[in-house]
Amino acid sequence: MRLPDGRLTQYWHGGAAGGRPVFFLHGCPDTRHAAYAGDAAARRAGVRLVAVNRPGYGLSDACPSTHLTVADDVAAVADLLQIERYAVLGMSIGGPYALACAATRPERVTAVGIVAGPAIVPELDPPYHRDDLGSEQQAFFARLAGLTPVEAVALMRPDFESYVDQLNPADPDDTALAQRFLAELDPADAELTTKSGPTIDGRVLGSDSAIAAAVREALANPDGYLRDAAISFRSWDFRPERIACPVYLWYGALDVNASVRNGRWLADRVPHATLVIRERTTHLAVLHEHWGDILTTLTSR
């Protein structure tokens, strides 16, 4: 799809055709593929599920994006799909982008769902979103908060490119690539990722082919991840206190990627927020074990 400014944006839509629309904002590095697992639940819930790749992911053109420009992109895609009002669901780093949608389009966004998303990291106590960081990593996040996005990208690029080289998404062997990717996940999340599902975009969900395709789309261009990381751990360009619609916060007690501290921080500041902490639940499980409940909750108003 071409946006009004001429940029190409890549998206997927599934669930129930003509259903109540929910826009899904993926994590990092990730893509629209992360929404595929919600297709069946969306159909059962009567939800039209739309997932848009942010700039620099997959075929979406890279640009110096911010939380607010991504919210503009979501609204533009909604216009082109003739969707007037919609809920938004942000997974992990997609969470702040979902909140930005509500902050900029209060007349259009009906509800926000955040699944294991970071709060404003420099304002947390302590000022990092994970609780498993050593002193050097803590210092790294403190440094990121004071850099411009361009400086942050330059700082992170060597390590990220090394990670991509190790993963080797260009490898034509789907099984080998999938195994390398799964080895980076929490074992419980890896098991969820390989859970067999329906065929979407010609691949069986959970298969090596589907996992490899998702990895390749997420890592084909480093610009998406680097821009996400550069703006996600510094102060936001909007305030969550100004969001007027209902906001639902779902976090896992066993999630090392996004401490429940993030959810509590947001619940204390967003006026109409509901916080749910899932016990014995890891990062991906907060979403993938609860797709039906999440989508039904977001479209119940």
pLDDT tens per residue across span 144-198: 999 999 999 999 999 999 999 999 999 999 999 999 999 999 999 999 999 999 9
- pLDDT, position 171: 97
Contacts 24+ apart (CB under 8 A), 275-279: 275/249, 275/251, 276/248, 276/249, 276/250, 276/251, 277/251, 277/252, 277/253, 278/250, 278/251, 278/252, 278/253, 279/253
- Measured between alpha carbons, how far is 275 from 273 in angstroms, rounded to an integer? 6
The pairing of strands 109-115 and 86-91 is: parallel
Q: What is the mean pLDDT of residues 35-51?
A: 97
- pLDDT, position 301: 72
Whether residue 226 is predicted with pLDDT greater than 80 in this model: the reply is yes
Whether residue 137 is predicted with pLDDT greater than 90 in this model: the reply is yes
Q: Other CB atoms closer than 10 Å to residue 243's CB: what's the count? A: 23
Q: Are 230 and 153 in contact (CB under 8 A)?
A: yes
Whether residue 129 is predicted with pLDDT greater than 80 in this model: the reply is yes
Q: What is the mean pLDDT of residues 63-79?
A: 98
Beta bridge partners of 199: 204
In percent, the amount of the chain with pLDDT more than 90 equals 100
Average pLDDT, the chain: 96
- pLDDT, position 291: 98
Closest CA to 57 of 88, 97, 89, 22: 97
Whether residue 229 is predicted with pLDDT greater than 80 in this model: the reply is yes
Closest CA to 37 of 207, 216, 234: 207
Three-state DSSP class for residue 59: coil
pTM of the model: 0.97
Cis amide prior to 169 (ω within 30 degrees): no
